[in-house]
Structures are given as C-alpha cells and as structure tokens.
Structure 1
C-alpha cells in the first residue's frame, strides 16, 4: 500500500513524499522482532499489543524501507495514518 504524505519530510538527507507499506510481506518473525525492538525503545506491554501505536510504528518500519526513527519523524497526521493502517491490517479491519 502506498501512502502519500500530506507533508514531505527529509530524513538522513533523503526527501520522503510517499511510503510503501508492505504489510503483506511481513512474517511472524517480523512481528516478534518488532515487539523486541518496541520494548528496547522503552515501550511497555499493552493488552492487546496490536493496538499500541508504538508497536505498530515499529512494525510499520519493518514493512517499509525506512527505519523506525523516520516513521517517528513524520508529521503527526501522516504518522497516525501509517500506524492506523498497520493496526487495521493486524486487526483485519478497515481504517
């Protein structure tokens, strides 16, 4: 899924206008690694974890070619859209 950003950002010298969020390409191992990464960044267990915006941002970074820090650097509305699309995918709902 391609998400066109409302406001382009520059991250590590590269202008980002769109994000290709390939959630279908992820595996259970990606989810487990994203969970470990989320906890390593200071994230706390949430029930259910799939609704945590921090966890979904980490997982979304794994579904793109962008690091977690780039997802966090997005303007709030764009970050929310990326996180919401990831949550909807995991919960099998439409955002």
Structure 2
C-alpha cells in the first residue's frame, strides 16, 4: 500500500487487508509509545474468529445483532490484526478507535 494517511484510505486500500493507521492521538502505555498500528486483517483466520467469540463470552460481552456491528467485537478483531493486546487497544482515544473499528468493519463487510 502506498503511504497514505488514514483519512485518505480508499476501498481498495482497505480491501488489501493490511492497513497502517496513524493515531491522531499517540499514546504511551506500559512504556510503549503507539504512534501508528498496522492491521493485518487478511492474516486472520477462522481460528481467530472462534477465539474472539470465546474471549467475548468469557468477559460477558453479549452481541444482540451481527458481531460485525459490535464495537467490542471490532476492537478485539483489530487488536488481533495489530498483534497488540485488547487491553492496550481499548486505551486508545475514542476518535482513533472509531476510525480503527470502521476500517475493520469495512474490511469484514466488503464483498
């Protein structure tokens, strides 16, 4: 993928399945600075999907509709795709998380 900011992502960029997202509000968590994350959504498998569902069940997260519409589900998917713990990702700013989950959802729902 060419170097683009997250606001310049196109459908084909997202369809590639590997997206680098530059945080609008970089954060330092446990002595690690996060300025950008790379989501390797294409690298996820059905095993990841099952593990995500198990994780959601163990943390008492209930999805009332399609999982792909749940922000919690999308955050867990994004954390796996970025290879960072969900506990870290959920400490990102709401603005960044909204964009990250939107990109994740778009990838999952594209035909």
Gaps of 5+ in 1: none
Give CA-to-partner distance per residue, 1:24-76, whole Å, 9 cap, x none: 00001101111111222221022111110001101111101210011100000
1:55-74 map, 5 Å? 55-74=73-92
Q: Equivalent of 1:29, from 16, 24, 47?
A: 47
Q: Quick check: 21-30 or 39-48, which moved more? A: 39-48
3-state SS of 1:73 partner:
coil
3-state SS of 1:9 partner:
strand
1:1-95 map, 5 Å? 1-92=19-110
TM-score by length of structure 2 reads: 0.79
- Deviation >2 Å, runs of 4+: none
Indicate the RMSD between aligned Cα atoms, in angstroms.
1.2
Higher gyration radius (CA):
2
d(CA) in 2 for partners of 1:64 and 1:75? 16
